[in-house]
Amino acid sequence: MEITNDIRIGLYLSGEMKGSDREQFEQDLAANTELNAAFAAARRIWDTTPTEANESWDVEAAWSRFATNAPTLQKKARNIRRTLYWAVAASFALTAGIYSIFFAGQSPVTYAYEAGMTSPIELKDGSKVFLNKDSEVKVYPFTAKKRHIALSGEAFVEVEPDANRPFTVASSGTLTEVVGTSFNITQVGEKTRIFVNSGKVIFSAIEDTDNAVALGKGEAAIFGDQKMELIPNPSPNIISWKTQKLHFAKQMSVTDIVADISEYFDAKVVVENEASKNCKITAPLSFENPEIKTLLKIVAKTISAELVEEGDTYIIRGGKTCL
């Protein structure tokens, strides 16, 4: 197993790193600002761990435990191991008990989306919350040790870095913990989906903190029915509601393109010809402040189909066959 900086941090905090390895790590801490920042965040998590849980840092046992309960993944093994490691490091801090003690009984301030709302909600620490339509956020009083909000709906969150004050977001049975990052989180039916735009987050089930993953830039996960799943290839348009831009990558399928357009416009779009759904575009397409008919006409043209409107439904009719 590769000894990454994450593992080195764990071994150091547990006291299991000895001799020259410990000296070298301390030298690296002094010389590497990025490593130092990661260490400060990890130490904060470690310090919130119950004493009995800190007594040993058994890396192999931790890997074995999380591998057994791993979420359904379609990624290379090396990515699985890295993701699960961070879940081990965080699992002690994100307990339902800590959540209840920290936030029960506090009076939050509630902000709701208003029609035409484009500016973010600016929090007292400098963090920003962009709400999508039909969404609201409850902001609990920030203290010297914690920052917490609860979300209903969808939001893009930009967290101001503060290694001494974790920033947590509760949403539909999940808890997301960060120090400084930006991410999009939304409720999809009975599920909660998260996409990390920058930095790292720990995404956990409130009632089962072993059911957790850590995600880096460009990674996404979804939680529902007590299951945590990574999204292997998240759409480039997950945050299009905020950016007002749609981008379709080369070799993106008609099925995925139509799904993104449907979600962005909250519209019903049907591709009638099943044989056309697997067709892929041969060049990337980007649109700013797009209009639905324009987009669908372009999609239809790429597969030699036509766009038809029937009531509130857009139908892509006809088209070529793609295997």
232-281 pLDDT, tens digit each: 888 989 999 999 999 999 899 999 999 999 999 999 999 999 999 999 99
> pLDDT-based confidence at 212, cuts 50/70/90?
confident
Model pLDDT, residue 13: 77
> How many residues belong to the chain?
323
Question: What span, in angstroms and rounded, lies between the C-alpha atoms of 39 and 105?
Answer: 32
Question: And the tokens for 268?
Answer: 């019903």
* Alpha helix ranges (H) inside the chain: 5-14, 19-31, 33-47, 59-68, 77-91, 96-103, 240-243, 254-265, 292-302
Q: How far apart, in whole angstroms, are the C-alpha atoms of residue 120 and residue 155?
A: 10
- Residue 139: beta bridge partners? 109, 149
pLDDT, the chain, mean:
80
- The tokens 């503060």 sit on which residue? 162
**Which amino acid is residue 161, in one-letter code?**
P
- Tokens representing 222 are 């979804």
Nearest to 142 by CA among 155, 117, 159: 159
Q: pTM for the full model?
A: 0.67
Alpha carbon dihedral 37, 38, 40, 41, in 10-degree steps, equals 120
- b/e sequence 78-117, b meaning 16+ C-beta within 10 Å: eebbbbbbbbbbbbbbbbeebbeeebeeeeeeebebeeee
| Cα torsion through 191, 180, 215, 219, rounded to 10 | 80
For residue 286, list its beta bridge partners: 247
- Summarize pLDDT for 135-173 with one digit per residue, the tens: 999 999 998 888 999 999 999 999 999 888 889 999 988
Angle, nearest 10°, between helix axes 19-31 and 33-47? Answer: 120
